[in-house]
Amino acid sequence: MRPARFALAALAAAALAPAATAHVKWFSEFSFADQPLTLSRAWTPTVTALLALSVVVVGALVWVDRRISGTGWYGRLDAWLAGYRDRSGLVLRVGAGAALLLAWQGDAIFVPEFEIPAAWVGWAQFALVLLLLSERTAPLAGAGMLALYGYGFALFSALHMLDYVFFAGVGFALLVSRAPSERVRALGLPALYFTVGFSLCWVALEKLIYPQWGLYVLSQNPQLTLGFPIEFFLTAAAFVEFSLGFLLIIGLLERPFALVITLVFFSTTLVFGKTEVIGHTLIHAALLVFLIEGPGTVYRAPVTFHQRPALRTAFASVNLGLLFGLLLVPYAALAWDAYEDHAEAVARALVEVERPPSVALAVEPDGSGGYLARLEATPFRFTPDAGAHVPGEGHAHLYVDGAQVARMYGPVVHLPTLPPGRRTVTAVLATRDHRLYAHGGEAVRAERIVSVP
């Protein structure tokens, strides 16, 4: 890709990254039974190039921050927003209450994909909303949110719950909101910055380790890529999102980027609708708090620990690369742990059929550098809906050389590229609840050898 086109694609990803892939779990019928990429496969030349670009851009933003912070208009805006600091607590309470009400109405814990396991959980969220009506009882609501987040850890994996660590950050901010000590009360703001930023960084890594989820969303909404290759766009979006999260963590350009993220997330409702509103309500509240509070008045932002611009630039650039590596390694490890746990569960829960469907797989070039995989299965009905097992219905898992690359919710799926050489493409029939159909203890599958030039 030419440098100019590369830069343009990166800018497009910067504008649309949240819209395209911020929380693909809500729209992709994801499953941790899907095989993640290993670190060696995830770390491509494109990843290296985009990481280097991100390091340079983040370093340059230190100088941008220095330039605009000295302008008169920015100082006036800062002073105007500072006059609303006494409203930030109300904003957080309203946002938390709305998020909990939406989750309660949707029979979920916090966000759409965490289904309520028992009725009392929903009523507990409703009780927390009542506590948020009063500033006096807001700390109790904060403690309740922290307890509910801990309960989620007991039900779901750490890999999944860390997507939403900002709920714990909001809970902590509410918990200390009426502490007698100003320094204790002020801890809520850096906790919000860290947890919201961390959530953005963590979710960004999902695009690199589970690219099939994001590629599915982009393939259903190709207009989001502005005509760029979806694989590149997905990777670029991951780095934009990771960089935005990092900037919130270190406290660089807090207000401008809080405004940018808020506006982009609002625009995504035009594409994804109600589910997007439910999932992002609390993030909107936190971002509004960032707009009002800015860096805060008690604790300094990490980027300001160094006074000299060159040291600040080095601090921002080096730590972006370090944080990326420090998070990518455990993310990949947790992803593989989740996959192996699900693989063991699937192996113990094969769905035996007396007469297996007849399956045939064809893989053909699509004329534009990609391939079309066509699966015929008789008798079998493809369905895009997950849920309880219905005999003879489900989807297929598609593998290339043993690595899962997609799920087939219909008889045809598009593969943008295949690595050169002889490739083994395998399709395995699965139930609606992601178990595998089997006959005589062997999964029902079809394979095709493809010679890729």
The label of the residue with tokens 């390694």 reads 329
Share of the chain above pLDDT 70, in %: 88
**Which of 142-162 are b and which e, b meaning 16 or more Cβ less than 10 Å from the residue's Cβ?**
bbbbbebbeebeeebeebbbb
Cα 407 to Cα 48: distance, rounded to the nearest angstrom: 28
Q: What is the mean pLDDT of residues 95-100?
A: 92
Percent of the chain at pLDDT above 90?
40
Which of 243, 221, 223, 420 minimizes the C-alpha distance to 235?
A: 243
pLDDT of 274? 59
Q: How many CB atoms lie within 10 A of CB 220?
A: 10
State pLDDT tens for residues 77-93: 878 877 788 888 999 99
* Confidence band, pLDDT 50/70/90 cuts, at residue 351: confident
**Residue 332's pLDDT is what?**
94
- The tally of CA atoms less than 13 A away on the side-chain side of residue 426 is 12
Place 245 in a pLDDT band, splitting at 50, 70 and 90: very high
Residue 160: name the closest of 228, 209, 100, 126 by CA.
209
The pLDDT of residue 14 is above 70: no
Confidence at residue 29, expressed as pLDDT on a 0 to 100 scale? 64
How far from chain centre, in Å, is Cα 293? 26
Distance CA 423, CA 450 (A): 5
Question: Higher confidence at residue 4 or residue 359?
Answer: 359
- Return the pLDDT at 65: 85
Distance of CA 73 to the CA centre of its chain: 35
Higher pLDDT, 227 or 148: 148
Separation between Cα atoms, residue 70 and residue 66, nearest integer Å: 7
- Lowest average pLDDT, out of 8-12, 167-171, 319-323, 380-384, goes to 8-12
- Contact between 412 and 373 under an 8 Å Cβ cutoff? The reply is yes
Q: Determine which of 135-149, 319-333, 345-359, 400-414 has the lowest per-residue pLDDT on average.
A: 345-359
Which is higher by pLDDT, 75 or 95? 95
DSSP string, 383-452: -S--SS--TTEEEEEEEETTEEEEEESSSEEEES---SEEEEEEEEEE-TTSPBEEETTEE-EEEEEEEE
pLDDT at residue 327, rounded to an integer: 96
**Domains with residue ranges and CATH for the chain:** 3-342 (no CATH), 351-452 (2.60.40.10)
pLDDT at 185: 93
For the chain, what is the mean pLDDT?
84
pTM metric for this prediction: 0.77
**247 pLDDT exceeds 90?**
yes
Distances (CA, A) of 264 to 25, 311, 417: 18, 31, 30
If you ran DSSP here, which 8-state letter would residue 25 be given?
A: G
Kindly indicate the confidence band of residue 26, based on its pLDDT and cuts at 50, 70 and 90.
low
Q: What is the pLDDT of residue 76?
A: 83
Question: What DSSP character marks residue 115?
Answer: B
Least confident residue range of 23-37, 305-319, 350-364: 23-37
Residue where the block lists tokens 């940018």: 260
pLDDT digits (tens, 9 = 90+) for 273-294: 556 666 678 888 888 898 888 8
The pLDDT tens digits for 179-229 are 999 999 999 999 999 999 999 999 999 999 998 888 777 777 676 777 778
Residues 437-448 pLDDT 10s: 998 888 899 999
Mean pLDDT, rounded, for 99-109: 87
Q: How far apart are CA 114 and CA 327, in angstroms?
A: 23
Dihedral Cα 403, 408, 414, 416, nearest 10 deg: -30
pLDDT at 43: 94
Q: For 415, list phi and psi in degrees, rounded to 5.
A: -110, 115
Kindly report, residue by residue over 44-56, the tens digit of the pLDDT. Answer: 999 999 999 999 9
What are the respective helix, strand and coil percentages of the chain, to the nearest 5?
A: 60, 15, 25
Least-confidence region, from 11-15, 175-179, 246-250:
11-15
Note the pLDDT of residue 28: 64
**pLDDT score of 24:** 67
Question: Which of the residue ranges 92-96, 231-235, 449-453 has the most confident prediction, judged by mean pLDDT?
Answer: 92-96
Nearest-angstrom CA–CA distance, 303 and 321: 15
